[in-house]
Chain A
Amino acid sequence: MPEMMTLIGGRTSKQGTSLTHGKLDGEYLEVTSTVEMNVEDMARLGLKNGSRVKLRTPEGEAVLKCKGRETKDLPRGILFLAYGPLSSQLMAGDTAGTGMPISKNLDVEVEPVPDQAGP
């Protein structure tokens, strides 16, 4: 069963340095396709560092690699993802009349992806 969590999009220095190199290959794609997750949540879902998870919103879905963070750094139920092509897949076009789509604190369904199903 998928479980609901809160996804925070943001910047990292690795995303910043790699996008300067080029957005069409290599490290940038790696950095923007890795989601950070609370280690206890990961254990409960049977996930290890590098395991794949599918995130889904009403708008779309994305399959990402996960990476564990301690509870003091990232509370349970919170996910962090560097902005990039995959975070875009989850964002809706509505801006509530501001021009700004919501890219932080998105409600997402989280579902582990069996190893062989990964891209």
Chain B
Amino acid sequence: MSDNLKVVENATCTFCGCVCDDMNLTVDVDEHRITKAENACILGKAWFREHGIEQRPFALIDGHEATTEAGVEEAAQILARARFPMIYGLSDTTCEAQRVAVGLADMLGGTIDTTTSVCHGPSGIAFQGVGESTASLGELKNRADMIVFWGGNPAEAHPRLFSRYAVTPKGMYIPNGRKDRTIVLVDVRRTASTPAADIFVQVKPRSDFEVLWALRALVKGRKVDPSIERRTGVSLAVLEDLVARMKRCNYGAFLFGMGLTMNRGRHFNSAALLALATDLNQFTHWVAKPVRGHGNVTGADNVVSWQTGFPFGVNFSRGYPRFNPGEFTTVDVLARGDADAALIIASDPASNFPKPAIEHLKRIPVIVLDPKATLTSRLARVAFTTATYGINVTGTVYRMDDVALTLRPAFPSPYPSDEQVLTAIRDRVRVLLGGNRLPAGAAPIAPAVAAAS
């Protein structure tokens, strides 16, 4: 450690969707590393500790060291030649980079998708179907006297959800913090989160939908058969008690995880929960919030939505945005073998996608932007090393509750940002294509004659 230390106050941690902005970072300026991250959770501490400057090539082309500029040229050539380019990732980068990526997809007539499709994508689909009553996290802190966690393990995946936002903090109308709240946890197994709950409801695997639907029926005053217990593992008495508490509280909140979305029923599960929260508003105030994973996955949803009208899985091949999950989502595009090139930004599908999708990635030219080496960068034709957002570069990120924050970087990186690399690729592609690519048949010179000949 050197003596050249500085402190960056009120920095933002982008590891998970909590995006806590109260980090006080001690930076060893000479060593290019963060030696202390005050207020960070265990995940945040690791995030800050492990992102020093590694000695990596600026770019690798077919495994050979290259400059960023040479990588940009190669990447632009690959993308401009491709007939079905797929752009994917984007949840661990800034909105500024995401914005350029969507523009590049539009220019190419390609497809863009984010890690949302394999995270809370089904909740996005559910939202499109039924809407959502939701809130910024401060409302939970200030008002929520009942919180139901469903299908998630925040103690391990979002540790400060409990301590900073939802369970223990004191708020305007919750003067005693934890004591003023009823905490319910619903899951198929006991986890590190279970001890935080006053009431633990253990449901049988694959029965979340049935439990949620039974709760909806009870909220509306309908009868539910006691055989619900055989199907779901939860007794009618427990459900009735829950409903009574839900109607009695002043401000209730559901925080739900991928136990609902990555499971049989997917968007039906999320929609059932969102609809339950909506129904409860006839009696008292209720909100629901998907607990989002990556640091800026919520920003990705927002950027793709405001630019295209759709949150993820968007195809531009006809000259305008089209949305169709299952068709334009990455796992499907790859598993079907459709894409003929892929641009992956800040994501590692080769280590968490289903096997058939990974197999296709190995067959096509892949371009990767990542601060670290990953399984995906290993199989890439062009692999860029980029600076880490929030640690080396500034920009905008959205917390899981859609609150936008500006990052305060701790120390500079020799590597370019994702935004810079993507902008350079886009500008080069624009030259190669002569502007935005128009879909075939979009502007025929003499339509009738051309068709006849």
Contact = CB atoms under 8 A, between A and B. Distances in A.
A and B touch in the complex (CB under 8 A): yes
Contacts of A20: 15, 43, 46-47, 49-51
B280 interface: no
A93 interface: yes
B331 A99 contact: yes
Interface in A1-54: 6, 8-13, 16-18, 20-24
Given A23-B372, A24-B373, A102 B263 contact: yes
B33 to A, nearest CB: 13
B326 A95 contact: yes
Interface stretch (B23-31, B116-124, B400-408): B116-124
A88 B354 contact: yes
B93 to A, nearest CB: 16
A22 B49 CA distance: 12
Given A16-B156, A23-B375, A93-B354, A100 B46 contact: no
Interface of B: 15-16, 42-43, 45-47, 49-51, 113, 117-118, 121-122, 125, 153, 155-157, 159, 188-192, 202, 205-206, 258-259, 261-264, 266-267, 293, 312-313, 325-327, 329-332, 334-335, 348, 350-358, 372-375, 378
Given A99-B117, A104-B258, A78 B189 contact: yes
A2 B39 CA distance: 47
Contacts of B350: 85
A59 interface: yes
B373 A11 contact: no
B356 A93 contact: yes
Contact of A16 (B46, B258, B330, B353): B46
Contacts of A92: 354-356
Given A73-B189, A91-B354, 7 more contacts: A17-B45, A59-B356, A89-B355, A99-B332, A100-B261, A101-B353, A104-B259
A98 B325 contact: yes
Contacts of A101: 118, 331, 353-354, 357
Contacts of B51: 20
B267 A16 contact: no
B335 A23 contact: no
A-B pairs, 7 with minimum CB distance: A99-B329, A93-B335, A97-B326, A17-B46, A99-B117, A93-B356, A91-B354
A80 B205 CA distance: 12
Contact of A22 (B42, B258, B372): B372
B46 A12 contact: no
Contacts of A103: 262
Nearest to A36: B189
Contacts of B267: 98
A93 B351 contact: no
Nearest to B330: A99
A100 B189 contact: no
A102 B261 CA distance: 9
Interface string A67-81: 000001111001010
B153 A99 contact: no
- Interface centre among A13, A99, A102, A105, by most chain B C-beta atoms within 10 angstroms, is A99
Contacts of B330: 99
B118 A80 contact: no
B263 A104 contact: yes
A92 B358 CA distance: 11
